[in-house]
Structures are given as C-alpha cells and as structure tokens.
Amino acid sequence: MNREPSPPVIIAIDGTSGSGKSTVARLLAKLLDYGHVDTGSMYRAITWRVLKEGIDPKDTPQVVTLLKRLRYECEFARDEQGIRRLRNLLDGNDPGLAIRAAEVEKAVSAVSAIPEIRHFLVGKQRELVRFGNLVVEGRDIGTVVFPNTPHKFYLDADPAVRASRRAADPSQIAANAQAKNGAPMQLQDVSRAIAERDKLDSTRAVAPLKMAGDATRVDTSAHDAQGVAELILREIRNRAAQ
C-alpha cells in the first residue's frame, strides 16, 4: 500500500527585533538542512522598492498600486554556509543588502501594516511549503501564517541586549556602509528604532506581533545563538519521541 507523503515540517520562529531570530533560524536550517525563510526580508524588499520609487510608505493607495504591477517571485539558493535561503526577486532582481539599510528599517512597519501587503505576502509564505521542510522566522508565523504547526517558538531578550545585537549585526553594518551617508547608527539610535518598531508592530490592526498561545517562549538574553538553536532542536526531538 502506498502511503501519502508526509506534509513538510514547519518550524515557526517569532519574536522581537534583536532577539536572535535570524541567527537562530539560520543555525536550525543548517543543522536540519531545511529551507530558511526570513519573512521580514519579504516585507523589507517591498519597502525598499516603495522607497526606490519615491512613494510615501504611508500612502496606502500608491503602495497597493505598486504591488499590483510588481512581479514578485521567490526562490531558494544555497549561501556560502550551505544554507538554503530564500531570495526575493522583484521584477527579476534581488535587492540584496539594500533591504537592510536604515531607511528601510524605519519605513518597513508602515508598509507591513497595509492589509493588502500582508495578505499578499502571507499567501506567498504559505506557498513556500512546496519547497519542503522550512524554518520560518518573523512576527506572525505561529499566529497567522502557519498556526497549525506544532513547532512554535517565541524569542525575546532584554531591550539593551537586543539593541547591542542589532548594532553589531554584520548585515546591518554592511547595509549602512552602502548607504549614501555611510554613517553607522549609534547604539541609542538602534535602541530607539527597535522600541518604535516593536510598538508599531504590536499595536497594528492586522496580524500584530504577539506570542501564539501554544508557543514556547525562549529568553535569549543570556544565551548565544548556538545554545538557543540546540535548545529548540532538543525540544522538537523530545516532542517527536513522545
């Protein structure tokens, strides 16, 4: 008798900015050889394009008009560490590190709050299961995108720790270096930006940042990314053994 193929395994990693979501998700994807999906990069990619077109991120009609004429595609490619990572192609082009620039960070919450944008990208995120097992990170993965996955984790950390991590993030530093002024963000500016981002994301009307009721909360303040990834992996394997 032929068995139906097992559905893809989805590990949902939600949490606040600077909590270590991205690093932990990448490590898990590498350890398991799963696809790594940074859903924040999807919102950042569209935000980058909005700014590139000179559109006000808060001008909902103009942003939606751009979305309708934009050819947005997703693919996976192995990076230098061998991780299968999501690439966002806008009209065939990958914006790369440009989506990590400070101006994108400042505008992404406004674009993310637009219902049409969220509906469009949530649909794209759910379609990614066709690529197989995934580690998916974001802010509404366990609550909205994949609410039925049993593997839900919510990462958080002390605000000062989160600001320090974000300021030291190589991709953030590289993106700022590519910006026109080339000026690095000061720690107090990073801390202020994180607090504002969390406030905007947790109070928005559509898919606000919050922990799913059945998610496991992980305080990463005193742990490095490797330790957190191993903790999550042990938890998943313990559940599978029960």
Digit-coded pLDDT (tens) for 105-142: 899 999 999 999 999 999 999 999 999 999 999 999 99
Neighbours of 149 (CB within 10 A): 19
Answer whether 194's CB lies under 8 Å from 17's CB: yes
Domain over 10-241 is classified CATH 3.20.20.70: no
Q: What angle do CA 78, 29, 175 make, to 5 degrees?
A: 60
The whole-angstrom separation of Cα 208 and Cα 211 is: 10
Q: What is the crossing angle of helices 39-52 and 102-112, to 10°?
A: 100
The whole-angstrom separation of Cα 182 and Cα 140 is: 32
pTM (2 d.p.): 0.86
Q: Six-digit token pair at 87?
A: 């690439």
Answer yes or no: is pLDDT of 207 > 80. Answer: no
Neighbours of 92 (CB within 10 A): 7
The residues facing 86 across adjacent strands are: 76
Cα 222–chain centre separation: 22
Which ranges of the chain would DSSP assign to H, the alpha helix? 21-32, 39-52, 60-69, 102-112, 115-127, 159-168, 170-178, 187-203, 225-241
- Kindly report, residue by residue over 135-191, the tens digit of the pLDDT: 999 999 999 999 999 999 999 988 888 888 777 776 655 555 555 555 556 777 777
Name the residue ranges covered by the structural domains of the chain.
Answer: 10-241
Name the nearest CA neighbour of 134 among 126, 242, 3.
126
Answer whether 65's CB lies under 8 Å from 55's CB: no
Q: What angle do CA 226, 232, 233 make, to 5 degrees?
A: 85
Answer yes or no: is pLDDT of 62 > 70. Answer: yes
Residue 79's pLDDT band (cuts 50, 70, 90): very high
Contacts 24+ apart (CB under 8 A), 66-72: 67/116, 67/117, 67/120, 70/46, 72/45, 72/46, 72/120, 72/124
- Kindly report, residue by residue over 1-36, the tens digit of the pLDDT: 556 678 899 999 999 888 899 999 999 999 999 999
